Amino acid sequence: MSDSVRLNVDREVSFTTPAGKAVPAHCVALLFSGGRESAPKVKGIFLVAHAIYQRALKEELLGLTADAVGDAEPFAADKPIEIEAELDAGETKNLIDKGGGAEELVAALMGQANAFASIGRETSWQALSVMQDDGGMKSGYSLGSE
């Protein structure tokens, strides 16, 4: 049996690049899933400004690349872009093994120093899908299996 929990976060967060630069985002929610038969997974739903999305493509942040866009329609520059990303399995295991949970995960994403600061590195997250709400309909693309 697999369980899942959605935690609505609704906070400004920031990922850190390997060069130490901030990548601002708005964390909408964190999704925790797993069960006795499967390794736990943590996914995040983040909103970023169009300029941050373009930067992510250019710098290949969160596993995004210009090649991954494929034939997807371009996104409107005046609306936020939703990125669903999964936390690296090793980071998730470390969080659980050290007794951490959602509070520590959010604190790390907010840049607060704690034992889980590596969670805030953009290299610890892999984008799964990129979408934009266009008046009630979402359009975008997926990046492999979820």
pLDDT by position in tens, the chain (length 146): 457 889 999 999 999 999 999 999 999 999 988 866 666 889 999 999 999 999 999 999 999 988 878 777 789 999 999 999 999 999 988 888 888 888 888 888 887 767 888 888 999 999 999 999 988 888 888 986 54
Chain centroid, CA 46 distance in Å: 6
Cα 121 to Cα 30: distance, rounded to the nearest angstrom: 16
Separation of alpha carbons 6 and 94, rounded Å: 20
Structure tokens, 120: 């805030």
Q: Which of 39, 85, 79, 80 is nearest to 61 (CA)?
A: 85
pTM, rounded to two decimals: 0.89
Sorted by where each begins, the domain ranges of the chain are 2-142
Distances (CA, A) of 75 to 24, 46, 132: 18, 16, 7
